[in-house]
Amino acid sequence: MYRDPTYRPQAFMAKVFALFALGEVYSSRAKDSSDGNIPGLSYFKYASSLVQVLPERADLDHVETLLLLSFYSHNLNRRHSAYSWIGSALRLSISLGLHHNLPPTVALQPLMHQHRIRLWWTIYTCDRMWGSKLGHPPTIQDTDISVDLPSSSDLDESEIRQLSDPGYIIANVQLARIVSEIISTIYRRKDPPPLIQSVQKILRDLKTWIANLPENATLSTSGGPLPRYIISLHLSFNQCVILATRPVLLHVLEISRPSIPTDPLGRTSQIPAHVNTIAEACIHAARHSNELLTEAYTEGTLATFGYFDAQYIFSSAVVLEIASILNSQNIDSTLMQSSAHQLQFMAESGNLAAIEFCGHLDAVKLACEEYRSRVAVATDTSITVNANEANQESSAVGMQFDTFTTERALAQGSMRDFLNEDVFPFDLPDVTSLVDGTSSFFYDLPMEL
C-alpha cells in the first residue's frame, strides 16, 4: 500500500482500520474527550462498513477482518455481535478449507502455510471461548478438522520471529476444547451426565493441561512482571476451573442454608469431603485470578476497556463473596472488595462491560447480605479447616497465602484423592436445578459465564 497508493482493496483496508480500532482501544486509558466514545469506535464503524456484504470468493483478508471485528465488539459489550462475527469468520474459513491440510500438490511458502494454520486455530479458539460465555455449543466438531497444529519446524529464525509462539497457541486451543466440554457436560440442559463425574473429568483434563504447559507459558518465579499474554492465559485457565467447580460451590452454599433462622450453619459438616475439595478449588481459582488481576492493575496492564478483564474480575468476585459466607477468614471479603474496586475503576473509565457487571455484582452482594441476615454468625469448619491446611502447606515451603496458585490447589492431597476416585457413593444436583429451582437466592444470582 505504501509502494502503490492506488492499491486499496476493500478487504485489506477493512483489516487495517480494524487493527487501528484495536490498537486505540487497548492503548487508551480514558474515553475520547472529543466525542465521549469508546476509543477506536470510528475505526471500527468504518471497517465494519467495508465487510457488510462478503464476496462469493473471499480471501484471508476477509477472514482476518471478521476476527478483528469480533475482538473489538467485546469492548463494546456486544458479546452476541462478537459471537456472530467470529461465527462468520469460522464459516468463511471452512469455505476456504483452512480446517484441512493443504494437498501436497499445492506449493506454499512455509511462512504463509504456518500463517494459515495459526489463523485457523485462533478462530477455532475464539469461537469456542466466545460461545462458552453465552452457553453455546461449538460451531465445528474436532472430528471434522484435519489441519495440523502450529509448528515452527519448517521456519527459519527470521520467520519464527514474525509469528506467535506455537506452544502458546496450542495451549489456548487445548483450553478451548476443555471449555467446550464444560458447556456440553456440566452445563448441559438435556439429559446431563452425573455432575460429580463430569467435574472430575474436567479437573483431570485441567491438571494435565497445566502439567504439560510449555516452560515459557508458565507463571514466572523470577520476581519480575509477567508478560500480559501469560497473565491472560492463566486467567483463562482459572476461569475454566471456576466454571467447572462453581455449581458445586453453589450447592455447598445451598445446603448450608438453615431451614429455619435459628438453625446453626454447621450443617455443612454433612457435606462429603470430595465436595468440599471441589468447592475449595473454586475458591482458590478465584483468589489466584484476583492476584493476577491485581498485579495487572498495579503494573498498568489491566485493559481499561477490555471485556475479558472485566468478566474475569466479576467471576472471581462472585466466588469470593460466596467464600466470605462459607469461611470465617476475612481474606475473601477483603479480596472481593479489591475486585469490586477494580471493576468500579473500569466502569468509571467508561468500560461498558464493567458497568453491566457492577450492577450484577451489586445484586450478588445484596443477595448475600440477605443470606447473612438469616444466619447467625458461625464458622463452616469443613471448609475453613481445609483452607487452613492449604495455607499451612504453602507456608511450609516458604510461600505466602497469596501465591497459592490454582495449579497448587489441583495438586493437593485431597484433590488427588478425588481425581483418583473410581466410584462415588453420591451425586450432586445438576446445574439446571440450581438455575431453574425454586430458591430465590439462586434465582437472583447472575450465572454469568
Centre a 10 Å sphere on the Cβ of residue 89 and count the other Cβ atoms it contains. 25
- Say yes or no: 147 and 18 in one domain: yes
Whether residue 119 lies inside any domain: the answer is yes
- Say yes or no: 254 and 274 in one domain: yes
Whether residue 371 lies inside any domain: the answer is yes
- Say yes or no: 156 and 237 in one domain: no
C-alpha closest to that of 70 among 49, 50, 48, 52 = 48
CA 445, CA 321: separation in Å to the nearest integer? 12
- Say yes or no: 86 and 206 in one domain: no
CA 100, CA 97: separation in Å to the nearest integer? 6
Among 164, 185, 200, residue at a domain's last position:
164
C-alpha closest to that of 201 among 435, 429, 421, 390 = 421
Whether residue 3 lies inside any domain: the answer is no
User: Tens digit of pLDDT per residue, the chain (449 long)?
Assistant: 556 665 668 999 999 999 999 999 999 888 766 677 899 999 999 999 999 988 888 999 999 999 999 999 999 999 999 999 999 999 999 999 999 999 888 888 999 999 999 999 999 999 999 999 999 999 999 999 999 999 998 899 999 999 999 999 999 999 999 999 999 999 998 888 999 999 999 999 999 999 999 988 998 755 677 889 999 999 999 999 999 999 999 989 888 766 534 344 444 457 888 999 999 999 999 999 999 999 999 999 999 999 999 999 999 999 999 999 887 667 899 999 999 999 999 999 999 999 999 999 999 999 888 888 877 444 444 344 344 444 433 332 232 344 567 788 888 888 999 999 888 877 788 777 665 543 444 434 444 44
Whether residue 1 lies inside any domain: the answer is no
Residues 236 and 175: beta-carbon distance below 8 Å: yes
Quote the cell numbers at residue 113.
502455510
Helix axes 60-75, 110-132, angle to 10 degrees: 30
- Say yes or no: 146 and 187 in one domain: no
In angstroms, the Cα distances linking 90 to 49, 69, 123, 254, 276 are: 20, 13, 6, 40, 40
- Say yes or no: 43 and 145 in one domain: yes
CA 180, CA 310: separation in Å to the nearest integer? 21
C-alpha closest to that of 321 among 288, 255, 274, 369 = 369
- Say yes or no: 104 and 222 in one domain: no
C-alpha closest to that of 72 among 145, 122, 17 = 17
The residue type of 379 is T
- Say yes or no: 335 and 196 in one domain: yes
pLDDT at 374: 75
Structural domain of 226:
169-444
Classify residue 423 as exposed, middle or buried by CB count within 10 Å of its CB (0-12, 13-18, 19+): exposed
- Say yes or no: 183 and 299 in one domain: yes
Whether residue 5 lies inside any domain: the answer is no
CA 447, CA 449: separation in Å to the nearest integer? 6
- Say yes or no: 249 and 361 in one domain: yes
The residue type of 156 is D
Helix axes 273-299, 307-326, angle to 10 degrees: 140
Whether residue 37 lies inside any domain: the answer is yes
Whether residue 4 lies inside any domain: the answer is no
The answer for 84, left when phi > 0, alpha when psi is -120 to 50, beta otherwise, is: alpha
- Say yes or no: 258 and 357 in one domain: yes
- As for how many domains the chain has, the answer is 2
In angstroms, the Cα distances linking 110 to 106, 156, 160, 367, 439 are: 12, 9, 10, 56, 58
Among 164, 197, 216, residue at a domain's last position:
164
Taken as a whole, the chain contains a residue count of 449
The residue type of 116 is R
Which residues neighbour 133 within 8 Å (Cβ) at sequence distance 6 or greater?
79, 311, 449
In angstroms, the Cα distances linking 99 to 49, 79, 139, 179 are: 27, 24, 12, 20
- Say yes or no: 210 and 356 in one domain: yes
Question: Looking at residue 162, what DSSP letter applies?
Answer: T
Under DSSP, is residue 139 helix (H, G, I), strand (E, B) or coil? Answer: coil
Among 104, 129, 164, residue at a domain's last position:
164
Whether residue 2 lies inside any domain: the answer is no
